[in-house]
Structure 1
Amino acid sequence: MEGFWTGKSAAGFDVALAVLENGDTWGVVTSNGILYSALQGKTTSSGGTLTGTGREFSLSSGMVASATYSGTYTAKTRTDVRLSSGNSFTGAYSAAYDQPASLAALAGTYAGSGVGTGAGAQSMAVTISASGAISVPPSLGCSASGSAAPRASGKNIFDLRITFTGATCTLGDGATASGVAYYEGGALIAMGLLPSQTAGFIFAGRK
């Protein structure tokens, strides 16, 4: 079920889910632009059935919980996923995932909401250059820089690496998160985890 899927949770929240060619899975839950929770895991799928294991992150409380999930999918059409926590999601496939990732299209400044797990979301601007260099200006003593590079799969997904600088940074001064970014129609979603896999960073915005 490789691809990028968007839809609604049973509770009515917006869900975006990326399943990469190697099964790595990244998901984010939002409502009216506010970040609520995230998922990182590993998905196995075959013949219309999927299973996976990973972690759920509550972005408001900072709680991290082990999770298993299962469901069904129709290739490049629809998926239904239920997590062990009881959360569920129905999503539609985004055909834009099948286009090559373009740094030229990605480049720009995005206004949106960012959060380090365990801290409240805050408004921020993220700038990405035509070479993929990422910069986040200082806010309350914390700034960030990094890079985005088209993933070798040839799909519309970017490998992401971002390092935080400043004593007030939620994830710690010098902390580096690695993950993925997805761009479509002027909207950017970026997700990354620290090497410990117990904390990370999420950004959702538009240019």
Structure 2
Amino acid sequence: MEFFKKGSGMYGKKAAFSTLAILLLALEGCGGGGGGGSSASAPPPASAEGAYFGTMSDGRQHYSLVLENGQIYTLYGNTGSNNVFAVSGFLQGNGSSNNGSFSATDVKDASASGSVTAGALSASYVAGSSFNGSLTEGTSVVSFTGAPIGGAIYNYNTAANLAGVTGNWSLSSLRGFPTTLNIAAAGTFSGISSGCLFSGTIKPRSSGKNILDVSLTYGASPCILAGASLNGIAISYALPNGQQELAIALIDQTRTGTSAFVGVR
């Protein structure tokens, strides 16, 4: 089964590649003076943290993950007839939430060609209910809408289950190369992608949410990113046909080198 294929991307220039909500409510009280009366202000909006699924104005779909530290990862692509989400690229940025508005001005858009395009993302949100906005890259603007992901598919608010992803995976890389990955029970992994060897670690995120933190180091040539170390996240979610999809998105410290892998078992 093919999960990745070459084609157009977010702006018609990407190569296609076959991926929540916690409410952080703080109450502010204010004491009255004189007569000893008191009043309470309305609670401020919670952060945009969570997982959202929706559509984009370029005809694609997206899974967007806003993490507890403001980082955003967006996997974009389309759902095929077999209900597998075929990813054609991903976004990564460092943003912040403020009174129902989310902004990330340093977004990187990773394509299957290996290029990384700078952009900015802004959105309005109702925590746990909606995440709607736009991505701007140069003169190109793509708008999007987002709603919570059904808990039966993916529940951001449960702890990540490392045991659920251990074992062997047959994946495809962002650039379309077949990839074999073996994840040990302790969270170490090794893999090979078209002759390129790599290894690393995968572990549940310390936030207690359903995110796996991933660190990966590539070996020597023929690896395109020979010797590079990348960090990112992985998510695993159920498909309607009973299978499980694993998606991994990675970026290096300079935010110029990216990798991603997706597969179903």
Range of TM-score over shorter length: 0.7 to 0.9
Q: Equivalent of 1:87, from 127, 142, 149?
A: 142
Structure 1 contact 36–58 (Cα < 8 Å) conserved: no
The higher radius of gyration belongs to 2
Partner of 1:179: 232
Unaligned runs of 5+ in 1: none
- Residue segments in structure 2 that go unaligned for 5+ positions in a row: 1-47, 239-243
Residue 261 of structure 2: aligned partner: 203
Letter in 2 for 1:88: S
- Per the TM alignment, residue 166 of structure 1 is displaced from its structure 2 partner at its CA by 3.0
For the 8 Å contact 1:150–1:159, the answer to whether it is kept is yes
Q: Normalising by the residue count of structure 2, what TM-score does the alignment of the two structures yield?
A: 0.70
1:71 corresponds in structure 2 to 123
Q: SS where residue 130 of structure 1 aligns?
A: coil
RMSD, aligned α-carbons: 1.9
Cα distance in 2 for partners of 1:39, 1:178 equals 14
1:163 aligned residue: 217
Aligned to 1:150: 204
Please tell me whether the aligned partners of residues 15 and 29 of structure 1 are also in contact (alpha carbons under 8 angstroms): yes
Name the structure 1 match of 2:168. 109
- Identify which range, 30-39 or 86-95, moves more after superposition: 30-39
Once the two structures are TM-superposed, the CA of residue 58 in structure 1 deviates from its matched residue by 4.4
The aligned length equals 201
**1:5–1:111: structure 2 CA closer, same or farther, 3 Å change rule?**
farther
1:158 is displaced (CA, Å) by 1.2
Shift of 1:22: 0.5
Match of 1:4 among 26, 51, 69: 51
Contact 2:52 / 2:63 at 8 angstroms: preserved in 1? yes
Asked whether the equivalents of residues 3 and 19 of structure 1 are also in contact (C-alpha less than 8 Å), the reply is yes
Q: Going by fraction, where is strand more abundant, 1 or 2?
A: 1
**Any idea what the Cα deviations from partners look like across 1:12-44, whole Å, max 9, x if unmatched?**
223122211010111222235554322111121
**Contact residue 35 and residue 121 of structure 1 kept, 8 A:** no
- Paired letter, 1:97: Y
Deviations 1:106-144 (A, max 9, x none): 2233333212xxxx322323222222122213x432011
Query: Partners in 1 of 2:208 and 2:185 — Cα distance?
Result: 18
Query: What percent of counterpart residues are identical?
Result: 30
Structure 1 residue aligned with 2:62 = 15
Q: 2:102 aligns with which of 50, 53, 70?
A: 50
Query: TM-score of the superposition, structure 1-length normalised?
Result: 0.87
Alignment of 1:135-146 (within 5 A): 135-137=190-192, 139-146=193-200
